[in-house]
Amino acid sequence: MSGLATINQEISQLSKKANDGKLGDNELEMGTFTISNLGMYGVTNFSAVIYPEQSALLAIGGIETRILPAPDSPKG
């Protein structure tokens, strides 16, 4: 089991490698959570596929502008 300082150091090292585009295959394996963001491409909704061995997935689409009636309006 790693201590908090060790975990912080490992996260900092991995973050730097990710920002530099230098992560190896072994550092991309065995994830437990995936974030899939297609909002930057104008996609507003989609069904993301959870990878084997993953425990959760967050799928993020783009922002939509919607007009909603006020709750107290006769048509609301």
SS3 5: helix
- Region 50-70 average pLDDT: 89
| Residue 27: Cβ within 10 Å count | 13
Neighbour tally for 14: CB within 10 Å: 13
Express each pLDDT in 4-34 by its tens digit.
999 999 999 999 999 999 988 888 777 788 8
| Gap between the terminal Cα atoms of the chain | 55
pLDDT(76) > 70: no
Q: How confident is the model at residue 41 (pLDDT cuts 50, 70, 90)?
A: very high
2: pLDDT strictly greater than 80 = no
What does the pLDDT read at residue 52? 83
Q: Are 73 and 50 in contact (CB under 8 A)?
A: no
Separation CA 16–CA 62 (nearest Å): 27
Task: Read off the pLDDT band of 56 (50, 70, 90).
Answer: very high
